[in-house]
Structure 1
């Protein structure tokens, strides 16, 4: 019985590692496909254990205008990267994370972190 439980736990752990690898690969592909500007910023929220974590990447041109962005949010390894269309074309000085994500503190935190190194 104990051997069966250990075997099941090891199999589940290996499956989780494989799914995590696929998730990282999806984000890396989305990040590499971004239009490259003079600045690429990445921000991650500090989430609690069972709260969705957020990862945001932004690309700015030489005028500090967002030319591309991607967000990945979720609790599970099935989270997919998506563009943040409301950021495209905005100047960094006009981006207010609270207005972009009014009800999402984790996304606000990740966006602030992605923009911080640029200011």
Structure 2
């Protein structure tokens, strides 16, 4: 038993392996090229069912993402809306839409509702 605790404390046991894997998983984030491929996959999935204007808008959104002008949440929201519109359970079940529980998401802009004119 003491040997197992020693392995865990030195990072050599299962607990150490777990934490190493968790650090790796949380450090990855979105890889832009893979995310662009996902965007193109989802767009191709709905091309026959959406208008030319919608296709053009989605392409513009993907282009803004490629240029780092918008974040991945914006792109995901657009694709999630298409999946909801077409009741596409395959897309809706993808973990990319909810990689972790909503309550664990950090605030996007901590000062968004702050009144800078008010004296504290």
Instruction: Flag the structure with higher helix content.
Output: 2
Same fold flag (TM > 0.5): no
TM-score, normalised to structure 1's length? 0.30
Q: Higher strand share goes to which structure?
A: 1
Larger Rg: 2
